[in-house]
Structure formats: C-alpha cells, structure tokens
Amino acid sequence: MKPEAKSPVAGWHADHVYFQRLLDLLRKELDVFHGGERPNYELMLDIITYLREYTDRFHHPREDAAFAFIMRRFPDMQLTLARLQQEHRVIAQAGDTLRQLLDAALEGEMVARNEIEMAAATYLVYYGNHIAKEEEDVLARAAKELTLEDWEAVRAAVPTVRDPLFDGDPQERYRALRRQIAAEA
C-alpha cells in the first residue's frame, strides 16, 4: 500500500523520494556521458518518459490543486507557490526537450553531445531544486493545515491513477527501469 492511502502528505513525500531516485539514476548516466562514454540512452528515455507521463500529468496537477488550498490559508506563501507552479511548467518543457534529444539520438540522428548534456543538466537542476523547495516549504504546512475536505477536493480535481512504475508490478515499459532502481538500492 502506497503511503498516500494513510496520509496524502506521506504519499506526496514518497513520490518525491521515488522521483529523486530517478533523478539520481539520470545524473549517473549524465556523468557517464560527461566522461565521454555512451550512456544508457534507453534508460534515460524511460526515466524522462515516466516523469513526463506520470508526474507532469498527475503528480504536479495534484500539487497545484493542493497549492490553491494552501494559498487561501497562507497568503504569504502565494509567491512561493506561484514559483513552484511555474517550475512545474519549466520542468515539463525541459523534459520534453530532453526526451526529443534522446529520441533523436536513439533514432541515429546526429545530436550534439553538449545539447543532450545541457538539456539533462537543466532538467536535473530544476527538478532537484523543485523537490527540495516543496519538501522544505510546503509539505509541513500542508500536513498541518489542510483538512480532510481539502484533500478530498484535491483528489477530485485530478484523477487518481496507478503509478506505472512504483505501485506494484510495473508496466511492461518500465520493468527494466524498476530492475535498475532495485540494483542501485
């Protein structure tokens, strides 16, 4: 059972832990790439695809819905939360850019190494800082101040879907990625 079944904030935090593990794997592949070797482009693409298809479509919209309730209770957090929402859009765009470059490289197209390296580094920095900011500034307030009714409204705003990687048996596409995560643990 995912932690969210017990507490929405525990589920939110657990997602961040999972996402950070993926970002760590991506960073390792970037280090390989930076060292002049060929990284595992397929693994990198699976990480980006998962983060784009799951986090950007379900996790981040749920956060945005929770942010709306937090803003009502803490007007002083409006700027912080607006920046976090903006980062959701930046992360999505950076992920799309990186995914396009990885797709092109896997299709045998000529892609400048520095383009992939820069796109991956941008994605990693934005996403890592974003998670840290939410953990530091938002989760404790959400846990303390959002009511059961607020959390029900958040759940109603964004459909709940099964996490295709971390919830039980992963989807076929993500089985190799799940094995890689287990090997790194």
Q: What is the pLDDT of residues 98-128, one digit of tens each?
A: 999 999 999 999 999 999 999 999 999 999 9
Contact (CB, 8 A) for 40 and 151 = no
pLDDT at 1: 40
Q: Cα 71 to chain center, whole Å?
A: 22
pLDDT at 169: 83
Q: Tell me, letter by letter, the H, E, C secondary structure of the chain.
A: CCHHHCCHHHHHHHHHHHHHHHHHHHHHHHHHHHCCCCCCHHHHHHHHHHHHHHHHHHHHHHHHHHHHHHHHHCHHHHHHHHHHHHHHHHHHHHHHHHHHHHHHHHCCCCCCHHHHHHHHHHHHHHHHHHHHHHHHHCHHHHHHHCCHHHHHHHHHHCCCCCCCCCCCCCCHHHHHHHHHHHHHC
pLDDT along the chain (185 residues), means of 10: 68 95 96 90 95 92 95 93 96 97 95 93 96 96 93 91 87 88 83
Distances in whole angstroms, Cα of residue 71 to Cα of each of 96, 102, 149: 29, 38, 16
Instruction: Record the pTM.
Output: 0.91
pLDDT at 5: 53
Of the CATH numbers 3.30.230.10, 1.20.120.520, 3.40.50.720, 3.10.20.30, which one belongs to the domain with range 3-184?
A: 1.20.120.520
- Distance, in Å, from the CA atom of 139 to the CA atom of 83, rounded to the nearest integer, reads 15
- Distance, in Å, from the CA atom of 118 to the CA atom of 122, rounded to the nearest integer, reads 6
The tokens for 137 are 């500034």
